[in-house]
Chain A
Amino acid sequence: AQSVAQPEDQVNVAEGNPLTVKCTYSVSGNPYLFWYVQYPNRGLQFLLKYITGDNLVKGSYGFEAEFNKSQTSFHLKKPSALVSDSALYFCAVRDDGNGGFKTIFGAGTRLFVKA
């Protein structure tokens, strides 16, 4: 069965510092991994995805994520955080095995960036 874990409820970082939001996954087939961001009172917005190929994926707003097959991880990163990056971040997974057509979302990690 598919599953996604975001081990941190909250991540705090100072503006200008690098940030990492962690995600690990479990699938039966090949993983398709996504990151979404949710700002207050808004719907989720797609940031980036890993399908195949290069393990480092670049996305919107300067975010990137690194796929690590051996560690079954897909951590979200940004070299220099902005206060405006403060939001709720969701990791999500689909697979081409027995997962059917469902996207499984992690519980979310709240990012606070302090000025």
Chain B
Amino acid sequence: DTAVSQTPKYLVTQMGNDKSIKCEQNLGHDTMYWYKQDSKKFLKIMFSYNNKELIINETVPNRFSPKSPDKAHLNLHINSLELGDSAVYFCASSQDLGANTEAFFGQGTRLTVV
């Protein structure tokens, strides 16, 4: 069983469209994240949720809206997609917010905006 799974794996869409990426973890973790990896492989936190509560919102445009229906799921909805949104988006989870806990990552969603 995949610990952190996100769908879809690839997403190609036109500018201005709205799209969603889904993420589920079966590890029983309390904390989930969204990261963005750009073309230079630089990885940056976007959002963090702990037990469905938003903890980190890292100066992300409000076109990006995370939703956590329960602590096992953290979905990412993106409105009015722009060319600059093209990147690989990773969902991750960790046991809790503790600084000593490692993260488990999904396989990533490669978003291409044309």
Closest CB of chain A to B64's CB: distance in Å?
17
Of A18-26, A74-82, A102-110, which stretch is located at the interface?
A: A102-110
Closest CB of chain A to B102's CB: distance in Å?
4
From A32, A44, A105, contact of B99 by CB (8 A): A32
Given known pairs A43-B90, A94-B99, A95-B99, the reply for A100 and B106 (CB within 8 Å) is no
CA A21 to CA B42, docked complex, whole Å: 17
Contact pattern, B 27-69, Cβ under 8 Å of A = 1, otherwise 0: 0000000000000111111001010000110100000000000
From A42, A94, A103, contact of B108 by CB (8 A): A42
- Count of interface residues, chain A, beta-carbon cutoff 8 Å: 25
From A43, A99, A101, A108, contact of B41 by CB (8 A): A108
Q: CB distance B107 to A44 under 8 Å?
A: no
Q: CB distance B43 to A90 under 8 Å?
A: yes
CA A73 to CA B97, docked complex, whole Å: 24
Residues on B with C-beta less than 8 A from A38 are 41
Residues on A with C-beta less than 8 A from B99 are 32, 94-96, 99, 101
**A-B contact list, 28 entries, CB within 8 Å:** A32-B99, A32-B100, A34-B102, A41-B108, A43-B90, A43-B106, A43-B107, A43-B108, A44-B90, A44-B92, A44-B105, A46-B102, A46-B104, A49-B100, A51-B100, A88-B41, A90-B43, A94-B100, A95-B99, A96-B99, A99-B99, A101-B48, A101-B50, A101-B99, A103-B45, A105-B43, A105-B44, A108-B41
Give the 10 A-B residue pairs with the shortest CB-CB distance, closest first.
A43-B105, A94-B99, A46-B102, A105-B43, A44-B105, A32-B99, A51-B100, A101-B97, A108-B41, A43-B107
Residues of A whose CB lies within 8 Å of any CB of B are 32, 34, 36, 38, 41-46, 49, 51, 88, 90, 94-96, 99-103, 105, 107-108
